[in-house]
Amino acid sequence: MSGDKPHIVPYRVYLIILVALIALTLGSIWITSIEMAEYTVAAALLFAVVKSYLVLTYFMHLKYDKRYIKAMVGFVFAIFLVVIIITFLDYLFRA
């Protein structure tokens, strides 16, 4: 489903996503109790990424939007990724 076609998302879907977000938040707190050294941040980021995906897809209706809107969001994430990579490459190569 895409384009300007009307879409009505059942409340049940919103409820499921809400429960999933709460569960993931609790999970992100729980994960800190496990000693994972440098992977702690990676784990926290993983939880954040999944939560962001759910919010963007369902709460912000990206699933039902036109393809060019999805492309714009993808472009934004690509830029974000490039900026992060460039910044941390500096740290990697710093003496």
Partner 1 sequence: MQTSSAVNGANYLTYQGKYKGLLGWIFSTDHKRIGLLYMYSIATMFATGLLLGLAMKFELLAPGKTIMEAQTYNATFTVHGVIMIFMVVVPGLPAVFGNLMLPLMIGAKDVAFPKLNLLSWWLYVTGVFLVLAALLFGPGAPDTGWTFYAPYSFKTGTNLLPAVFGAFVLGFSSILTGLNFLVTIHRLRCPGLKWTKLPLFVWTLYGTAWIQLLATPVVGITLVLVALERVFGVGIFDPALGGDPILYQHLFWIYSHPAVYIMILPAMGAISEIIPTFAQKHIFGYKAIIASTMAIAFVGYLVWGHHMFTAGMSGTAQYYFSLLTFIVAIPSAIKVFNWISTLYKGAINVQTPFYWAISFIFVFMVGGLSGLVLGALATDVHVHDTAFVVGHFHYIVFGGTGFAFFAAMHYWFPKIFGRMYDKSWANIGWLVFTIGFLALYTPMFYLGIMGMPRRYYDYLEEFHGGNILSTFGSWVLATGFVIIVVNLIRSARKGEPAEKNPWHSKTLEWTVSSPPPVLNFDEEPVIGENDGPYNYK
Q: What is the largest CA-CA distance in the chain?
A: 56
In sequence order, what are the residues at sequence separation of 6 or more whose Cβ sits closer than 8 angstroms to the Cβ of residue 9? 58, 61, 64
Show the binding pattern over residues 70-89: x = contacts partner 1 (CB under 8 A), - = does not: ------x--x--xx--xx-x
Between CA 93 and CA 89 the distance in angstroms is 6
> Minimum Å distance from CB 89 to partner 1?
6
37 touches partner 1 (CB under 8 A): no
According to the binding rule CB under 8 A, does residue 67 interact with partner 1?
A: no
Residues that bind partner 1 (CB under 8 A): 76, 79, 82-83, 86-87, 89-95
